[in-house]
């Protein structure tokens, strides 16, 4: 029967064996590439950060440890039986130099964030201090014009300088009756202003020795105490906020070389201190050195 189809050879075609060999070689090639692959922890972290920024990932997951591992595949193989066997743990750590670099980089970023936050808080605090000083200057405008007071700011401090003129008699520590109204104005603003209140007395360099005061140290301290007692007549003020100091002539504003300069150095300073911790809240009185 000439019309019958010729019989095909038994088995698979010859080209299939060549194709199978080629696939086996390719698989071995990729296995070798994978076995030689290593993870550069530093470059991996930088690449992950850049990918996060590029795709706009909003969620941040804190990482407590640096990336570990030097290879993506296990470096040993332990055949086991079907029943459970003890598991061997393979611990791989990043090279010390890479680990140190990552820790320094993360620490530097944290320091930058902290410093930025501190700078912003400091700027806001200084702005509030200037506003409060302006309010005091408006309230005490007439007293400042008469030369009885000075109001200025220094960083986060408001400094109110009470001159001896109009406030204290010469060589004495009792306030003039007319000056209690000025103290009351100052107290109204200070009562609503947070922070420590440092009251410091100052004198000129002319020594004093009376039955009441043995030296300028006692006179400067007594004047500061007198101002504090006058301010505490306002029940809104907490006495634990006060710190009393007496400096005598140890911190002059100007040289004591003329009567005008000595009069300028005889003063009591009210310092409203914000943003810094001072001594404990107890009232301290400076004594003679």
Segments making up each domain of the chain, as ranges = 140-273
Residue listed under structure tokens 């700027």: 123
Instruction: Note the pLDDT of residue 70.
Output: 52
The whole-angstrom separation of Cα 137 and Cα 143 is 9
**pLDDT per residue over 40-49, tens digit each?**
667 777 777 7
What pLDDT, in 10s, does the model give residues 70-111? 555 555 555 555 454 444 444 444 455 556 666 676 667 677
pLDDT band per the 50, 70, 90 thresholds, residue 237:
confident
**According to the CATH classification, is domain 140-273 in 3.30.1330.60?**
yes
Q: Residue 185 has what pLDDT?
A: 85
First to last CA, the chain: 137
Which residues on adjacent β-strands are paired with residue 12? none
pLDDT of 201 above 90: yes
What pLDDT sits at residue 87?
45
Q: Taking each helix axis from N to C terminus, what angle separates 216-231 and 180-191, rounded to the nearest 10 degrees?
A: 70
Strand partners, 151: 160
Cα–Cα dist 64/66, whole Å: 7
pLDDT score recorded for residue 73: 54
Q: What is the pTM of this model?
A: 0.55
Q: Is the pLDDT of residue 228 over 90?
A: yes
Spacing of C-alpha 210 from chain mean position: 49
Percent of all residues in the chain with a pLDDT value above 90, rounded to a whole number? 19
Mean pLDDT of the chain: 77
pLDDT at position 250 is 93
pLDDT in tens, 126-164: 888 888 888 888 888 888 888 888 888 888 888 999 888
272 neighbors 187 (Cβ within 8 angstroms): no
User: Exposed, middle or buried: residue 274 (CB in 10 Å: 0-12, 13-18, 19+)?
Assistant: middle
Q: Write the CB contacts of 174 (distance below 8 Å, at least 6 apart in sequence).
A: 168, 226
Sign of CA dihedral 231, 232, 238, 244: positive
According to the 3-state scheme, what is the secondary structure of the chain? CCCCCCCCCCCCCHHHHHHHHHHHHHHHHHHHHHHHCECCHHHHHHHHHHHHHHCCCCCCCCCCCCCCCCECCCCCCCCCCCCCCCCCCCCCCCCHHHHHHHHHHHHHHHHHHHHHHHHHHHHHHHHHHHHHHHHHHHHCHHHHHCCCEEEEEECCEEEEEEECCCCCCCCCCCCCHHHHHHHHHHHHHHHCCCCEEEEEEECCCCCCCCCCCCCHHHHHHHHHHHHHHHHCCCCCCCHHHEEEEECCCCCCCCCCCCHHHHHHHCEEEEEEECCCCCCCCCCCCCCCC
Residues 6+ positions from 117 with CB-CB distance below 8 Å:
none
């Amino acid at each position: 029967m000439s019309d019958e189809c010729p019989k095909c050879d038994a088995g698979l075609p010859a080209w299939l064996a060549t194709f199978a060999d080629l696939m086996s070689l390719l698989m071995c090639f990729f296995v070798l590439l994978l076995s030689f692959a290593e993870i550069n922890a530093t470059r991996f972290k930088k690449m992950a950060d850049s990918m996060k920024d590029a795709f706009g990932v909003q969620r941040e997951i804190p990482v407590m440890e640096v990336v570990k591992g030097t290879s993506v595949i296990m470096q040993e193989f332990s055949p086991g039986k079907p029943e459970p066997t003890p598991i061997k743990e393979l611990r791989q750590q990043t090279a010390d130099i890479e680990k140190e670099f990552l820790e320094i980089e993360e620490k530097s970023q944290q320091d930058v964030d902290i410093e930025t936050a501190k700078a912003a808080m400091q700027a806001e605090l200084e702005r509030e201090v200037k506003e409060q000083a302006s309010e005091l200057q408006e309230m005490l405008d007439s007293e400042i014009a008469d030369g009885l007071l000075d109001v200025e700011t220094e960083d986060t401090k408001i400094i109110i300088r009470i001159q001896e003129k109009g406030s204290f008699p010469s060589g004495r520590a009792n306030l003039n009756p007319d000056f209690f109204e000025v103290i009351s104005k100052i107290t109204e603003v200070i009562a609503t202003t947070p922070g420590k209140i440092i009251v410091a007395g100052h004198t000129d360099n002319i020594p004093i020795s009376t039955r009441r005061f043995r030296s300028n140290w006692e006179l400067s301290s007594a004047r500061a105490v007198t101002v504090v007692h006058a301010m505490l007549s306002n029940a809104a003020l907490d006495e634990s906020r006060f710190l009393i100091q007496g400096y005598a002539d140890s911190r002059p504003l100007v040289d004591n070389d003329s009567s005008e300069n000595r009069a300028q150095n005889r003063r009591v300073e009210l310092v409203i201190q914000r943003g810094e911790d001072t001594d404990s809240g107890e009232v301290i009185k400076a004594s003679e050195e």
